Amino acid sequence: MILPVTNLISNRHFSMLPMDVYNFGPYENCVYVMYSNVKKVAVVIDAASGSFEGLKKCLIGHEIHLFLTHGHWDHMCEAAKFQRELKAVVYAHKADQDWFATTEQCKYAPSNISFETISPDIWVEHGQMIQWDDLVIKILHTPGHTPGQIALYVESLRSVFVGDTLFYRTVGRTDLPGGNFDQLKNSIRRILYALPEDTAVYPGHGEKTSIGAEQKHNPIVPLHENSL
Ligand SMILES: [Zn+2]
Ligand SMILES: [Zn+2]
């Protein structure tokens, strides 16, 4: 059984907003939880395998808002449990609706994964701002890894949560259905690299990085095409 303490890999208390980083599931998905200071609001980013059991004790008593960065099973397989059992409001981009609504993608998942389809409560759009007290999230639509991939930009934390678009010194795969490398490159260059250089990048897997570091050192999508 997964206990939250064993999965909590980082507990960062910023000046205003607390944010915790967890790892769950066979692909070691990063799951992020932020809290607003005033009302008891918890924002959860992704619902990886094991995250429901791992997080529910911390989340009980909060109004829960769950954002799915995209529709791949490793990011959304337990979203329905959060929605049904913790009354979480689930947000996602409509372009990944087919992934959320079907069990077809179970063929990509290990057979012991508990997978449920999900009907998100709210379809988000590029540029949309969502606010609870001091916690403000801006939605960025960054297609390429999947058509409905989103990033969540939290300016007050100088942080962006990018799902599987951009990783430490690499980028998300585009060989799965709906993937498109040109779109991915455009999303990274025009949307993510347009953020301030000191913005921390929290990906869906692996270690964090920053916009400035990837602009300079990413070997697949550097800031300028001609620096390849
Ligand atoms: Zn993915
Ligand atoms: Zn993933």
Ligand 2 centre to CA of 75 (Å) is: 6
Residue range 71-96, pLDDT digits in tens: 999 999 999 999 999 999 999 999 99
Ligand 1 centre to CA of 165 (Å) is: 8
Lowest mean pLDDT among 14-28, 102-116, 157-171: 14-28
- pLDDT level of residue 105 (50, 70, 90 thresholds): confident
Spans of all domains in the chain: 10-222
Structure confidence at residue 5 (pLDDT): 40
Give pTM, 2 decimals.
Answer: 0.92
- pLDDT level of residue 15 (50, 70, 90 thresholds): very low
DSSP state, residue 104 = G
- pLDDT level of residue 11 (50, 70, 90 thresholds): low
Distance set, CA 145 to CA 36, 96, 152, 178, 181 (Å): 30, 11, 15, 7, 8
Structure confidence at residue 225 (pLDDT): 80
Q: Could you give the 3-state DSSP secondary structure of residue 190?
A: helix
pLDDT exceeds cutoff 90 at 112: no
Residues within 5 A (CB) of ion ligand 2: 74, 164, 204
The token pair at 167 is 């990783």
Given a contact cutoff of 8 angstroms between Cβ atoms, the answer to whether 221 and 189 are in contact is yes
Mean of pLDDT values over 157-186? 97
Q: Which ligand is nearest to the CA of 144?
A: 1
Given a contact cutoff of 8 angstroms between Cβ atoms, the answer to whether 95 and 110 are in contact is no
**Rounded to whole angstroms, how far apart are CA atoms 146 and 94?**
11
Ligand 1 centre to CA of 218 (Å) is: 19
CATH 1.10.645.10 corresponds to the domain 10-222: no
